[in-house]
């Protein structure tokens, strides 16, 4: 079986060296390179084709998420193991959603790094240490999906749509630019789950979001 090829990405040479020293004695793992910036990392992922990338989430030129997105876009099949000092559950779960194969706290490196590298190399998805797993499975807060209700301004815009006003007319009436009206409409459509102003107007009247009789013959663009 061939070795697991590891690329270490961290802007602190001293940390890179520390990680390398921990990994090198392990059987079946070889460190193929060290990158100290995001740009360098992307080049080396392309050139060295590592099995596993140990990625520090905070680099001087770009943040870790950006690197993950770009690396996947460039078609890499390397597994990315995020490395950071934050034990913040949102930070970690977001990172995993963005496609990282695993996450390791920097303090856990001495004890867990070899397990983690082997784990993600063997295809484990969402590899996290037991400590982090415990953190992620903590009690959930009561939460309802927010931002789905229309704001008062959006209701105003919707009302004018029902009146059959154009974007320019709405903008004039509310003292905002037509471009801002466009943005409001975009958000309104998304929240209401519709794709056009006619649909939005019909739904608005049906659900009594605005109190008016729908005038179908009104101009609809």
Partner 1 sequence: MEEKLLLKKPGKSIRKKRAADTTRNNTLLDHKQAAHLQKVLDAFPVALVLVDLNGNIQYMDQTAKTLLGEPDKPLELEDWPQTFGLYLDDGMVLYPGQKLPLLRVLQGETVDESEEIILRKDGEERALWISISAQALKDENEVIEGAVALIRDITYRKQMELSREKQIQRIEALYKLSRLIAEAGTDLNDISNLAAKFTSEVIGDISVITLLTELKDKYKIAAFQDAGPTGQALLRKVLSPEVEYDLSDGLVGGVIKSGEPLLIPTIASEHLQTISSSAFEGLIEEINIESALMVPLTGRSGILGTINLYRKRGSNPFTVGDQSFLTDISYRIALAIENCRLFESLRTEISKRLATKEDLEISEERFRSIFESVTLGIKVLDLDGNILQTNLAFQEMIGYTEDELNGRHFSDFLHPYDIARASKLFHNVKLDGVTGFRFEHRTIHKNQSVVWAKTFFTVVKKSDKDDEPAFIVGIVENVTEQKRLQFEMEELSSRLQNSMELERLHLAQELHDNPMQVLYSANYRLEELRTKTDPETSEALREVKDTIQGVLQDLRATAKELRPPTIFSFGLENAIRSHAYDVQEKHPNLEIQLSLAHDQQSLPDNVRLALFRVLQQSLANVVRHAEATEVRIHFSFDAEETHLEITDNGRGFNVPATWIEFVRQEHFGLAGAAERVNALGGVFKVESQPGSYTTVRVTIPWSDPD
Which residues lie near partner 1 (CB under 8 A)? Answer: 12, 14-15, 17-19, 21-22, 25, 57-58, 63-65, 84-91, 94, 106-107, 109-111, 138-139, 141-149, 151, 153-154, 176, 180, 183-184, 186-187
| Strand arrangement, sheet containing 79-84 | 29-35, 4-9, 52-56, 79-84, 102-105, 127-128
Nearer to partner 1, 15 or 76 (CB): 15
Nearer to partner 1, 73 or 142 (CB): 142
Cα of first residue to Cα of last residue in the chain, in angstroms, is: 65
In the bound complex, what is the minimum distance in angstroms from residue 43's beta carbon to partner 1?
23
* C-beta separation of 114 from 29 below 8 A: yes
Q: Report which of 177, 176, 179, 174 is spatially closest to residue 159, judged by C-alpha positions.
A: 174
In the bound complex, what is the minimum distance in angstroms from residue 57's beta carbon to partner 1?
8
Nearer to partner 1, 168 or 215 (CB): 168
In the bound complex, what is the minimum distance in angstroms from residue 68's beta carbon to partner 1?
11
Provide the 10 A C-beta neighbour count for residue 203: 14
* C-beta separation of 79 from 52 below 8 A: yes
Nearer to partner 1, 1 or 140 (CB): 140
Nearer to partner 1, 172 or 214 (CB): 172
| Tokens representing residue 163 in the block | 């009146």
Nearer to partner 1, 58 or 122 (CB): 58
**What torsion do the CA atoms of 89, 90, 91, 97 make, to the nearest 10 degrees?**
110
* C-beta separation of 45 from 78 below 8 A: yes
What is d(CA 50, CA 45) in angstroms, rounded to the nearest whole number? 6
In the bound complex, what is the minimum distance in angstroms from residue 217's beta carbon to partner 1?
29
In the bound complex, what is the minimum distance in angstroms from residue 48's beta carbon to partner 1?
23
Give the residue carrying structure tokens 């099949």.
77
In the bound complex, what is the minimum distance in angstroms from residue 166's beta carbon to partner 1?
17
């Amino acid at each position: 079986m061939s070795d697991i090829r590891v690329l270490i990405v961290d802007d602190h040479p001293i940390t890179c060296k520390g990680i390398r020293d921990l990994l090198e004695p392990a059987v079946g793992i070889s460190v193929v390179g060290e990158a100290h910036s995001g740009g360098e990392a992307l080049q080396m992922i392309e050139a060295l084709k590592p099995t596993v990338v140990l990625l520090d989430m905070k680099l001087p030129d770009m943040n870790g998420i950006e690197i993950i997105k770009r690396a996947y876009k460039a078609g890499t099949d390397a597994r990315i193991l995020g490395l950071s000092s934050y034990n913040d559950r949102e930070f970690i779960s977001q990172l995993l959603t963005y496609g990282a194969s695993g996450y390791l706290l920097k303090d856990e490196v001495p004890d867990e790094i070899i397990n983690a590298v082997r784990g993600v190399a063997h295809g484990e998805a969402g590899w996290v240490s037991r400590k982090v797993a415990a953190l992620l499975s903590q009690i959930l807060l009561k939460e309802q999906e927010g931002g789905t209700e229309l704001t008062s301004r959006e209701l105003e815009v919707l009302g004018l749509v029902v009146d059959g006003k154009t974007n320019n007319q709405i903008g004039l009436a509310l003292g905002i630019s037509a471009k801002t009206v466009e943005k409001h409409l975009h958000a309104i459509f998304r929240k209401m789950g519709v794709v056009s102003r006619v649909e939005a107007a019909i739904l608005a009247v049906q659900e009594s979001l605005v109190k008016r009789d729908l005038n179908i013959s009104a101009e609809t663009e």
